[in-house]
Structure 1
Amino acid sequence: MKIGKELDYLLTLQKRKDAKERILKVYNALVYKKGNTKGYFNCPSAYLEKVNSRYYKVVNLLLEHKIIDFKSVNYDTTDLFNQRRKKFYDTEKGICMKYKFLIDVEEGYEYDLQTDYTTIYENEIWYSKTKKSLLDLGFPLENIRIKRDNFSRRLHTNITQHIEDFGSYRKLLEGGDYFLIDGKTTQPRLLWLHLQEIGLQDEKLNFIFENGLDFYQYILDRIPVLENDRDEAKDLFITWINGTGYIDGEKKIIRDIFPIANTFLKHYKTSDYKNICRLLQYKEAKIFIDDLLNNCPVEFCLSIHDALVVKKEDKDLMLNWCKERRPEIIFTLEEVKRKKLEC
């Protein structure tokens, strides 16, 4: 890492060695999260807390000395000449804190801080279970990298060498020895569940999920331009919830089919059209990683978005366990195939 004059001055003000070390660790953790991002970058408090439990003291010092700034919103519009601002984040919506550096982090003298921020979750059960499962598949320990993305929405399992050197996922998992416990139409269902949580009732969504109907088939039956193409229906749903608002031609009728949900989406995207994507991914991760993967009663288990990969001998146990654990999600069981792993 580089220590510029601003950070160096802050360090000279510290009389205690542990205070200096805490500043260096948190500062470096922020630089790591920044990556190549220009301007504001996501940095959840849960991440910084794992770096140091007293991270907030460092953040306050960095703010005070104009080394970083946080994204904020005005919460009092009565006086335009005296704006009152607060930090912009919302854990319920999956929106984490955003910071930006006010200094050039590439300037200054070199400082060797031996910290690997890719392994800050290694004490978590889901982390160790994922690592053990990858080792069971034959991947060398030194080549395994496991991390969560910003705000812990996704779990990434990267192999540092070409995966073909050890066998592809297809070759390792398909063939009857591994099965996929898949959440059926999880994203539409999570949207419906969220609307229920906040007291919004979309009549059509209620009708679909309360009667166990197929969400995508429901769309196909009402939007002829999709020509009964299930993949087209899925793409339309993703465009509707994650897009900037534009929907091509006759496909935009989806807004009229689900008017309450559409109004909610429009409002929710006001500050950032990606907010819905963040919200649903966050809810999905809380279910499939932080709950199911973290607490499952089997040794081998890998998560792939809204699904879990388990061994053949564990498939029935896990399927029944998932159904009992999360009755709000519909789970299906099928043999692992290449198409599923590439979704």
Structure 2
Amino acid sequence: MLKLIVENPSSLSYASRHFNGNHVKQNQNTVYPTPESPSITPARRRRRAMQHKLDKEHSIHLERVQQMVKQIRGQKTLAVKWQEQERERRAKEAEEAKRQLEQELKAQQEAREAEERRRVELAKQQREESKARKEELQRKQAEERRKKKEELQAETERLLAEARSAEEGEKKALAEKVRTGKEEGARWQEQERERRAKEAEEAKRQLEQELKAQQEAREAEERRRVELAKQQREESKARKEELQRKQAEERRKKKEELQPRPRGCWPRPAAPRRARRRRSPRRCGQERRKAPGGRNRSVSGGRRRPRRRSGSWSRN
């Protein structure tokens, strides 16, 4: 950059910017003289040539300065435009990032809701399956009890029919023997009565044993069904508690994700509790107070004044 340096600016005229010598008048027409004019001296011609050169360089310098100012202004305008474009670009990027984050959060929320619905459906399906298994088990047990009852009834009827047929045969044999001989018939009748009584007692005992065994089997089956139902309830309760625990854990994680912790803000560890200050054994007893005379004494200690006796001499 070209700089114009003038050692004595006061020697320049404001109007013409030319050097003024002692022999040059101020009202002389020296605005634009030519260096080749024959009416001036060589020294004046040199001074005027130098002034003309300085004026030309100064005008060139001013033009360059103006061009540089325009260029700087254009660069500033470009910088402002670039800053504005960068600001808009950053705003668009922030908006796009925010939109993507919202989409991701929405997708995560939808995934969690779908997972929750799937788990609810799975729990419902498991409850329905458990209910169906329980109903099927109850139906099978009722069918088994009905079959056992029918078998027992059929066996009882068969035994009764056999007993009746045996009794009929015995009656026929007895009638035959009565016809053949009363004594032998009476003895045989007594033997037959005893035998029938023994057989009836044995049949009754066997029937009681069978009924007792069936009752024990039914009780064992009932206990097994109760234990199975209890085990199923405990398993269902455990599955329900596990599901509730997982749901609570997911809700806590979801809350932590939706509520981010600020940077640099971590929970401080709990400060240790300060130990209680133990009182001195001196202060655990009676408190000390200041006596009217300026001397510290105990509340109950110190010297007491004697009591005045009530009597005639005290009134005198």
Place the TM-score, normalised by the shorter chain, in its bin: under 0.3
**Greater fraction helix:** 2
What TM-score does the superposition give when structure 2 sets the normalisation length?
0.14
**Greater fraction strand:** 1
Which structure has the higher relative contact order (CA within 8 Å, separation 6+)?
A: 1
Larger radius of gyration: 2
